[in-house]
Structure 1
Amino acid sequence: MVVSSQNQEHVELKWWEKALFVQYLVLKTTASFKKTEIIELSPKVELQFDINGYLTIEFTKAAFHFSFLVDILNIPANATWVKDGVTGAGGNGKGNAINQLSNPYGLFVDDDQAVIIVDWGNHRVIQWKKNDTNGHVIAGGKGVGNGLHQLHSPTDVLIDKETDSLIICDSNNKRVVRWSRRNGTTQGEIVINNISCWGLAMNNHTYLYVADNNKHEVRKYQLGDTNGTLVTGGNDRGNGTNQLYKPTYIYVDQQQNVYVSDRDNHRVMKWVKGAKEGIVVAGGQGSGNALTQLSLPLGLFADIVGTIYVADSSNHRVMCWTQGAKQGSVIVGGNSSGAAANQFNGSGAVNFDQHGNLYVVDFSNFRVQRFPLE
């Protein structure tokens, strides 16, 4: 990621996305770009984002003070996507071959546009590199079970770049597990036990957020913490603004605000950091297919200005809700249930690559669809 600073230097931060601290700045002269100086910061400098996504770094070496806008995905307000998706993984019927999926749910898109998919029905996590016709199993796939080499109906995954590992919701084993991405890894380790996890998120402050589908809450955990801190819900199931009912996928922004797909309340909730109650930011008008409604929402993403992208699973569509909007708009799908390129049969997790292309899990068509940004 390359950004410009206020003093007209050319600055590159390495691995900022999942890091709490930065250790190196690469400085190049603006005029010719011929002179390069790598400055090592000791101690490492903490990353601090403001509400607009600006990152300020202050350090004494060479008396520099940088304030610049980082390359957090900010989708243009009038963005549209190609309506016919391209199958990026699966699409060869239900099965356990390496070119097949079985009711996939979770999804993560890596920096190189590799798609990492939680293959729920095959009890595995599988990776499809861009333009590949076959996937590669990177966790599980050893049959259903609770061994450390096994998964049981996993639902979500993310990459922790600090440790170069996968963090997986191993849902029916009631645990969160970590699998190294190093070649030769054959088993994971338990990070959190005795939790009915469904969705995961991690922010730049290295907290891991987990949605507990049975306790109707979201907790955040620091490394080594097994109890966590309650951040949303936790007041039994219900439709109050301090309650959730079967939370699924979650998203955490740079200010540690938490967005939750509150599935059985057919809404998306936002909890501002430290708040005791949430705010309905999408849906909440009962189950239905009007533009004011959602029906069993799943996948969730929020951009830097608070625009929400949500998989409206039972309406077979993905919707966009701008901040403060009373109704959303359909960006892909919404053409009833089906297997055509412009249809879903249950829309699941959603994610974007660094170019703004949209990826959607089409779970009952056993595929992942990619929708290029127009």
Structure 2
Amino acid sequence: MNFSKKKHKLIISFRLRFLSNNYCIFLVLALSFNQPIFSSTPVWDSNGITYANQSIVGFHPVAIFMSTNNTIYVANKENNTIVIWEEESVNPTKIIHGGFSKSQSLFVTSDGDIYIDDGEKNRRAQKWIAETNNFVTVMNVWSSCWGLFVDINDTLYCSMNEHHQVVKRSLNDPLMVPNRVAAGTGIRGSASNQLWRPKGIYVNVNLDLYVTDCWNDRVQLFHSGESNGITVAGYASLNPTITLRCPNGVILDAEKYLFIVDQDNSRIVGSGLNGFRCLVGCYGYGSQSNQLFLPYSFSFDRCGNMFVTDTLNHRIQKFLLMKDSFGTPVNIQYTHSSRLTDDSPTYYRDCKVPQCHYETLQIHVNTTGPKESSCVIGDQCNFYIKGIGLTLDDILRDELQPNTVLNNQSFSIKLSAGLTIIMFVAGLINSILSFITFQNKDSQQVGCGMYLLASSITSLLTITMFIIKFWFVVLTHINVSTSLSVLRGGCASIEPILKLFLYLDGWLNACVAVERAALILKGVKFDKKKSKSIARQTIFILPFCIFGTLIHELIFRRLFEYETAPDTANTNYNTAVLFFHLVGPFIVNLFSALFIIFGGAHQRSMARTNQSLKEHIQQQFREHKQLVISPIVLLILSIPRLIISLLPGCAKTSENLWLYLGAYLISFTPSMLIFLIFVFPSELYMKAFKQSFNHIRRRTPP
């Protein structure tokens, strides 16, 4: 991620009013939450106050609610508790324990009853009854409710992120009847009747439903009884004045202006007469007082102050509403002009009200903030912004349906499962046949045979780790109850180990290409003994060198439950490593193939002048085609993944699933083709294979 740093000289004139009394104006309806009346351009202090830290709200707080009596409710996901501050008290006044876990949302009604998500593990939404201090199940769901809301008719809404749908049921029904669809078809998409990973929701007094359609980067309005939504914020809206990246929370004020948590931009935005503008968190993501790091939800108190769950900073931030930001009459003061010197501020008394001044001053402003990032990849096992390289998690995670058996998954998943099994069987056969060939002493006369013997082993390890990776991704996404220890272990180990074997296989094949080019260069002077010695040393050292470039993944790879923004240094280093291991063997094979053809032809043309260079090139290709075929095939197989990896911008793999998945699968085919591209075209290696195979047959009893 790039950062810009500029120094500006700014002349600012502004009026400061210090009032001894704070006046809080708010609209009182039959609602349990605050809907302040703001001025046309309300302003909040850009520097937030940490109201609660990780020791109180736990790791990754997401759900917050503030009632009309200024009681704050926060779901502590780490301890599975609800933390309560009454009347904005400094310390929590109550902590509620229950049978819920990993709650993504909560909602509190006017009578103090708390509705809380318990969908990830127990497939339900629960209600804590204030009168009895007991929990009861009020809705059965298929997954976590990333947004909960109770409207004025006592209808409970649940935003099911993983099922691309919002469902509802009346709390007045005596029986637990099936949920009704409020929005979304259950199939992800960007059409007006579809949603893609919906999160926060809001229902107004007219029963109109607002949905933050996260992966469509928009907010949808579904009028009561309508299945087609209207985009009211985002790039597809009628008045697109702001760009959203995975909006999470949404609230309306008393004047029906929208306030939105713009999660991936780590800010809160709001609408007004002139469209949307940034309100807080406008200085890029971070942990400073004027920054947020992937916020999730927020709520207003009676005075219009904003409380935000600053999720990846593990804290609750309070942003104070600046005075005169409420929609109340304000006496306009007399304005006096002043002439300002370069180094001295001047203050003018301009009204009869004590402590009211007109101030003019000169300040220097240093602004530091991130530019728009391309795309944040990974909602579970990842840690880098897309630069180069896609993992199988990135490609398949949105295609897999949780809690759905493989037979009921999409055709793409079933087809990819079949392809991986075929690839594993083909790779297993290839590795066995290659090992039979290159363990023969005749095949190890030079370093090439030793490289290929090692490659036959690493290819088996690569294809084995590949199928383990595939089924780990599939099964853990299908079975959402998989323990965190299993997820963390697989996240931290499988991908780095797979990369180690894949990169090792690629570099061993590149070593073969280099030695064959050296054979053409040296000719009869080629030292076979030295070649074998270099091969042994290279095979021993190469795994440690590759592992050294991947060790950062074992250290920094973490399991996240949200789309996460990374550390920039890790991102840049990871991109460099991926580029090196992807492009390095590609370039080595390319230049080796060119040298084998043209270098050998040039040497012959110098000795045999009776033929043209073109004729020598043709003859060289005919005589050494087995030396040329392998690097060319490896080169061709590297191109799709290289092209896909270098595509700029945000890669939404689900829109072109087989483009990305095909390139990913093709990148493993070199590990399946050693026998075909190295042994089959070579008379020497085929002879060694037949000898070894016949020897095995003779030793095998009939």
Quote the offset at 1:353 in angstroms: 1.5
Residue equivalent to 1:315: 265
Find 2:165's aligned residue among 217, 229, 253: 217
Distance change >3 Å, CA 135–CA 344, structure 1 → 2: farther
Quote the offset at 1:160 in angstroms: 2.1
Residue equivalent to 2:642: none
CA deviation string 1:106-131 (max 9, x = no partner): 11002232210122233222113424
Residue equivalent to 1:190: 137
What are the equivalent positions in structure 2 for 1:75-94 lying under 5 Å apart?
75-90=38-53, 94=54
Quote the offset at 1:292 in angstroms: 2.3
Secondary structure, aligned partner of 2:62 = coil
Aligned equivalents of 2:189 and 2:146: distance in 1?
18
Distance change >3 Å, CA 226–CA 211, structure 1 → 2: farther
Quote the offset at 1:202 in angstroms: 1.5
Amino acid at match of 2:224: K
What are the equivalent positions in structure 2 for 1:98-117 lying under 5 Å apart?
99-117=56-74
Residue equivalent to 2:95: 137
Kept in 2, the 8 Å contact 1:296–1:312? The answer is: yes
CA deviation string 1:58-102 (max 9, x = no partner): xxxxxxxxxxxxx95333222111111112222xxx4xx5x3421
Kept in 2, the 8 Å contact 1:241–1:277? The answer is: yes
Greater strand share, 1 or 2? Answer: 1
Quote the offset at 1:334 in angstroms: 2.2
Residue equivalent to 1:233: 184
Quote the offset at 1:135 in angstroms: 6.0
Aligned equivalents of 1:100 and 1:106: distance in 2?
10
Residue equivalent to 1:253: 204
Quote the offset at 1:177 in angstroms: 0.2
Quote the offset at 1:362 in angstroms: 0.3
Residue equivalent to 1:123: 80
Amino acid at match of 1:372: L
Aligned equivalents of 1:18 and 1:334: distance in 2?
29
What are the equivalent positions in structure 2 for 1:1-374 lying under 5 Å apart?
16-17=30-31, 72-90=35-53, 94=54, 97=55, 99-129=56-86, 130-134=88-92, 136-138=94-96, 140=97, 149-162=98-111, 164-173=112-121, 174-182=123-131, 185=133, 187-196=134-143, 197-223=145-171, 224=173, 225-284=176-235, 292-322=242-272, 328-374=276-322
Amino acid at match of 1:265: N
Aligned equivalents of 2:217 and 2:270: distance in 1?
15
Aligned equivalents of 1:267 and 1:292: distance in 2?
10
Distance change >3 Å, CA 284–CA 175, structure 1 → 2: farther
Distance change >3 Å, CA 167–CA 305, structure 1 → 2: same
Kept in 2, the 8 Å contact 1:306–1:322? The answer is: no
Aligned equivalents of 1:127 and 1:85: distance in 2?
20
Moved more, 119-128 or 307-316: 119-128
Kept in 1, the 8 Å contact 2:242–2:277? The answer is: no
Aligned equivalents of 1:200 and 1:293: distance in 2?
25
Quote the offset at 1:134 in angstroms: 4.3
Greater helix share, 1 or 2? Answer: 2
Aligned equivalents of 1:160 and 1:84: distance in 2?
31
Aligned equivalents of 1:100 and 1:209: distance in 2?
25
CA deviation string 1:326-355 (max 9, x = no partner): x52100002122111111111110111122
- Percent of paired sites with the same residue: 25
Distance change >3 Å, CA 332–CA 314, structure 1 → 2: same
Quote the offset at 1:285 in angstroms: 5.7
Aligned equivalents of 1:331 and 1:113: distance in 2?
22
Aligned equivalents of 1:291 and 1:334: distance in 2?
16
CA deviation string 1:207-232 (max 9, x = no partner): 11111222211122111343232221
Aligned equivalents of 2:242 and 2:262: distance in 1?
12
Aligned length: 288
Distance change >3 Å, CA 300–CA 168, structure 1 → 2: same
Distance change >3 Å, CA 194–CA 264, structure 1 → 2: same
Residue equivalent to 1:47: none
Secondary structure, aligned partner of 1:191 = strand
Aligned equivalents of 2:35 and 2:102: distance in 1?
32
Aligned equivalents of 2:106 and 2:186: distance in 1?
26
Residue equivalent to 1:25: none
Amino acid at match of 1:176: A
Distance change >3 Å, CA 301–CA 85, structure 1 → 2: same
Distance change >3 Å, CA 346–CA 14, structure 1 → 2: closer
Residue equivalent to 1:65: none
Quote the offset at 1:180 in angstroms: 2.0
Amino acid at match of 1:17: L
Aligned equivalents of 2:94 and 2:101: distance in 1?
18
Amino acid at match of 1:117: V
Aligned equivalents of 1:368 and 1:318: distance in 2?
14
Kept in 2, the 8 Å contact 1:235–1:242? The answer is: no
Aligned equivalents of 1:250 and 1:318: distance in 2?
16
Aligned equivalents of 1:231 and 1:100: distance in 2?
31
Aligned equivalents of 1:316 and 1:251: distance in 2?
20
CA deviation string 1:311-337 (max 9, x = no partner): 1111110011348x7x52100002122
CA deviation string 1:142-164 (max 9, x = no partner): xxxxxxx32221011111224x3
Aligned equivalents of 2:233 and 2:252: distance in 1?
12
Amino acid at match of 2:243: Q
Secondary structure, aligned partner of 1:348 = coil
Amino acid at match of 2:84: Q
Kept in 1, the 8 Å contact 2:165–2:181? The answer is: yes
CA deviation string 1:345-373 (max 9, x = no partner): 11110111122111111011111111121
Distance change >3 Å, CA 366–CA 265, structure 1 → 2: same
Aligned equivalents of 1:82 and 1:132: distance in 2?
20
Aligned equivalents of 1:14 and 1:302: distance in 2?
14
Q: CA RMSD in A?
A: 2.6
Quote the offset at 1:182 in angstroms: 4.4
Structure 1 gaps, min length 5: 1-12, 20-70, 141-148
Q: TM-score, normalised by structure 2?
A: 0.39
Secondary structure, aligned partner of 1:121 = coil
Kept in 2, the 8 Å contact 1:345–1:362? The answer is: yes
Aligned equivalents of 1:322 and 1:15: distance in 2?
22
